[in-house]
């Protein structure tokens, strides 16, 4: 027989797991679901762009402070494809394939958390930074460079996210 205090402890420990598994997530939405149904469950996407086939790409982004963005293509009949997490190391690798314009980057990843420039005054490069978890663990920014003309992605790389730096940790002298 389990003592009542341990029973309460076990129930308290299992409750968060039960709630977690009771919640629906974007991954649980099957392809072919009407976009209206997805929106009723998760809200309206905060970014969309038209696709050549008459459909649209939609993105639910947590930027500028969140580290996740979920996206899918919607066909001309309003049915979603597979909804996937966009801000991952694996997905960012797509930027190394072909040539990417700012419009294409927006349509693939959604709006960035930050926009800025780096370099010397005579050659400022435009940089968009996406807040995400590098390797699924590290609080990072993926920096996407568009060169000095801002027309094409020239390079991209992750770096630490200063939003998560601790200012209260100072060594004692």
Query: DSSP string spanning 160-172?
Result: E-GGG--SS----
Is omega for the bond preceding 165 within 30 degrees of 0, making it cis?
Answer: no
Residues whose CB falls within 8 Å of the CB of residue 122, separated by 6 or more in sequence, listed in order: none
Other Cβ atoms within 10 Å of 87 Cβ, number: 25
Q: Checking phi first, is residue 35 left (phi over 0); if not, alpha (psi -120 to 50) or beta?
A: alpha
Query: Which pLDDT score, from 0 to 100, does residue 154 have?
Result: 97
Residues whose CB falls within 8 Å of the CB of residue 147, separated by 6 or more in sequence, listed in order: 125, 126, 154
Query: Which pLDDT score, from 0 to 100, does residue 90 have?
Result: 97
The whole-model pTM stands at 0.81
Beta bridge partners of 79: 34
Angle ∠(17,23,27) on CA atoms, nearest 5: 110
Query: Which pLDDT score, from 0 to 100, does residue 173 have?
Result: 52
Residues of the chain short of pLDDT 70, as ranges, are 1-23, 167-173
Query: Which pLDDT score, from 0 to 100, does residue 133 have?
Result: 97
Distances (CA, A) of 48 to 29, 117, 147: 18, 25, 25
């Amino acid at each position: 027989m389990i003592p009542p205090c341990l029973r309460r402890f076990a129930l308290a420990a299992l409750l968060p797991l039960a709630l977690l598994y009771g919640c629906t997530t974007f991954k649980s939405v099957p392809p072919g679901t009407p976009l209206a149904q997805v929106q009723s469950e998760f809200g309206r996407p905060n970014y969309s762009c038209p696709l050549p086939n008459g459909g649209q790409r939609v993105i639910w982004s947590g930027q500028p402070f969140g580290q996740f963005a979920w996206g899918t293509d919607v066909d001309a009949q309003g049915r979603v494809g597979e909804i996937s997490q966009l801000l991952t190391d694996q997905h960012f690798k797509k930027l190394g394939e072909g040539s990417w314009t700012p419009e294409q980057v927006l349509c693939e990843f959604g709006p960035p958390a930050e926009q800025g420039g780096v370099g010397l005054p005579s050659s400022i490069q435009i940089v968009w930074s996406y807040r995400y978890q590098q390797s699924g663990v590290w609080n990072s920014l993926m920096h996407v460079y568009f060169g000095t003309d801002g027309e094409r992605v020239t390079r991209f790389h992750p770096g630490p996210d200063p939003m998560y730096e601790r200012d209260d940790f100072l060594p004692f002298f």
